[in-house]
Every structure is written in C-alpha cells, then in structure tokens.
Amino acid sequence: MDYTDLYINGAWHKTPTRFDVINPANEQVLASVASAGIADADAAMDAAEAAMAEWAARTPRARSEVLRKAWELMTARLDHFAHLITLENGKARADAMGEATYAAEFFRWFAEEAVRADGMITHAPSSGARIIVQHRPAGLAVLITPWNYPAAMGTRKIAPALAAGCGVIIKPASETPLTMLALMPLLEEAGVPPGLVNVLPSKKTGALVDHMLHDPRVRVVSFTGSTGVGRTLLKGAADQVLKPAMELGGNAPVIVFDDADMDVAIEGTMLAKMRNLGEACTAANRIYVHEKIAPEFTRRLSAAMSALKVGDGTDPNVDVGPLVNAATRDKVAEFVADAIAKGAKLECGGVVPDGRGYFYPPTVLSNVPENADCVHDEIFGPVAALQTFTDQDDVITRANDTEYGLVAYVFSGDMKRGLQVCERLDYGMVGLNRGLVSDPAAPFGGTKQSGLGREGGHEGMLEFMETQYISASW
C-alpha cells in the first residue's frame, strides 16, 4: 500500500507504533499503518488551525472550485478507490463501486452548496433596527468515521466542512484506514491547502479523540458509528459545549402491505437488507409482511437471497463478500442461533462456511418471535428477519417500538396510505416503495437514539457553521 503513515500538514509522518489492517476475505495482512498519539493530534490541530484562517477567508466560489475539482478527480479514479474499499472492507466489487461513486458525489454537491450559505437582512418589528443574519465557519472539526463505508463516511463529512470554511482532523476506523489515507493525494491535487485536512489512524482511539475534544480550538465533533460510542463522545463534547453531529445506530423496520407491488417490494427489501452486506445503520432489520402475502414474499425473498454468490469481493462475479471481521461474523451467527432457538424457521443460509475469511451466507428467517435478540439489536449482517402483521395500527406501533429512529421502509400500492403511514413512523428518514434513502442532496439523520443533526443536503453544511446575528442602525 502506498499511503500508510499519518497525514499531517500536507506531509506523511511515520510513528514508532503501527497496527495491521487485515483483508477480511483471506485474513491476511494488507498493510501496516501508523498509529497516532497525543503529540500527533496536537500537530494536526496546529496545522488545521493555521490553514483554516486562510481557507475561511477565501470566497465561497474559490472553495467551491476546489471541491468541484475533487469530484472530477475522484470520479476519474473510481476503479482505484473501489478496489481499495473491497480489499480492506470486504464488500463486493459492485457494492464498492457504488460507494466510491456516492462518496465522490459529496464533493460535487457541497461544491454547489458552498456558494449558498444564505443569510438574511430584515427590520426588527419594534425597534426598526436592521437584523442581519449570516453563517460563519464554526471552527476546527474532529471527524470520526466508521469501517462500513471507508470512503463515503469520510467525504460526507469532509466536503461540507470544507465548504463551510473549516479545517478538519479525521480519525478513520482502525479496520479501514487505507481508503481515507489514499484520498489525501487527490485532495492535494484538487487544491486543498496543506494542513486543512489531516488524517490520524490510531489504535488508541479513545484517548486520542478525548484529547482533541478537550482542546479549545476544536468546535465541532462529527461521528458516525454506534449509539454507545456516540453517548461517550457527547459526554466528552459537553465539557467544551462542542457542536455535535451524531449519526448513530438504527433498527430499521420494513413494512410490506398486501397491496404492495411484489416485484418492487422484493427488490426494495433486497436493497435495504443487502446493500453493504447488511453492515449499515440503514439496513433492514425487522421485516413486517402482511400475512396475506407472507408465504409468497418469503419464498421469493429466500430465492433471491439464495441466488447471491458469496466469495472474495475482488471477483467481479461475486455478489456478497465477507463481513469485516470475525467478531462481526460471530455476532451475526449468534443472532441466527438465538432466533431459531426461540422458534424462528430457517428458510435459507444460516451456516458459517469452512475456510478462511469472515464469510456468512445470505440468510432468511421466518416467524421470528418478538423476544429474539435480532428484533431489538442491529444485526449488521446478511440476515433477513421476517415477521407478519394484519393490522395497520399494530404494525406501526411495533415498528416504532425501539429506541432507534434512523430509517424505515414502507411498501404499498396505495400512495395515500403509504404517506399516512410514513408520517406516523418516528424516524428521521422513510423510504416509500424504495429500499434506498441515502442521497447527497438529502438531509441524512435520525431521531431518538439514532443521533443529532443531519449530513447531506443544505443542512449538512450548516452543521459546520455558526449563525451570527448583527443588530444595526444607520
């Protein structure tokens, strides 16, 4: 691998300690990567602070042009980034290409948004003073990204931060740091000044991040990952009253009504369940199917899942790669065993294959009971857990009965009913007759324990800005 050291102030820095990145398809070492410490974090914050002053002073159009160039460069190198994503994350080639394309789009979207931090001038009704409202860069941002989308979760944070005028320090997941490190030469070529973007892979994540969150120069923390870690970060951020953006866990329900177009419902459920092998906070977790169509839906979904080819994601004929590590695979297997022990029926899959690699086959469980662990926790793997319903009010209550509120999916041929159900679901996002909701142009985020703030859309840039109000008379 070409880029395996820390990236600070536009240069590569070696460290005394390093850690291995493992290819989940064969359990072999891909690369040895530098592990950042406290001194490295201080150097990165020094660099970002110095670079941000000049960057924030640039015109919005000047920042926009750099982001646009980053989109052009990444789009021209999608094959390279997709291959790297597959090597360190495991996802199949087509899935990795989808991520790389999605990741690049954030640069284009926020290139367009950079020039649209609109403010306002109006009169105060009582005093007659002018009310001037404008948005300013919030300050240095610490970005903490997960392993399931090594490229997209980084660009979804970097692009709006740069559009807003902020400098950033990125802490990528230890399982998948290579993609983010490989992005840095591209940003240099696009015109991002040295020091504005810094990358600190590390095996000492807790201490490293906590140190940065308590540095007075840091004003924003943006995290994508588990709700448990998010709570810990929020406690640390409270000490300095940092501006938090938290995209946390999910427990996505899918509701399939008896009037749904079966082809659309199967295709949408497959996409919601199997995109990124189910290793996504947006993945379908509880699938409620009306009992009138449950037999046909179960049969067709099982056939579609069984038809997927499992193997090394670098093989273009493979549909499903390995899970990211042994712990994730073993947890998925435990969910399946628990559900079967409590009365669920195994329709397909469910057996860990022999050999190297963290593989788990696409699996369908029917008649999953309410007390099964997979109903209440994120599966984060290729397991479709099916339940049935008859009453609309009842299924809405069941769908909402979770501490999470990231995304839900509804399939119905009756648009009026579909929209009415969507409005009653306590989720930040709902897919209606669609198994995919993620879009750079849309505000991504959830309710309840699924997070704070939004990524993407116009709202994504505002997470890195502060609103200033000036009361003026002249």
8 A C-beta contact, residue 108 and residue 199: no
Are the CB atoms for 434 and 410 separated by under 8 Å?
no
Q: Tell me the C-alpha distance between 373 and 376, whole Å.
A: 6
- Give me the amino acid identity at 318: V
Q: How far apart are CA 256 and CA 322, in angstroms?
A: 29
As annotated, the active-site residues are: 247, 281
Which tokens is 378 given?
Answer: 């994120």
Residues in the chain: 474
Lateral strand order in the sheet of 11-13: 11-13, 6-8, 197-199, 168-171, 140-144, 218-224, 243-247, 451-452
Sheet holding 120-123, edge to edge: 120-123, 130-137, 465-472
Residues 208 and 37: beta-carbon distance below 8 Å: yes
- Torsion, CA 270, CA 271, CA 273, CA 279, rounded to 10: 140
- Looking at residue 239, the DSSP 8-state letter turns out to be T
* CB of 404 closer than 8 Å to CB of 447: no
Nearest to 462 by CA among 156, 160, 48: 160
Task: Please answer whether residues 268 and 246 qualify as being in contact, where contact means their C-beta atoms are separated by less than 8 angstroms.
Answer: no
Computed on alpha carbons and rounded to an integer, the radius of gyration of the chain in Å comes to 23
Helices (H), 25-139: 38-57, 60-76, 78-89, 93-113
- Strands 383-389, 363-366: pairing kind: parallel
Structure tokens at 318: 């493979």
Cα(248)–Cα(378) distance, integer angstroms = 11
Strand partners, 287: 254, 386
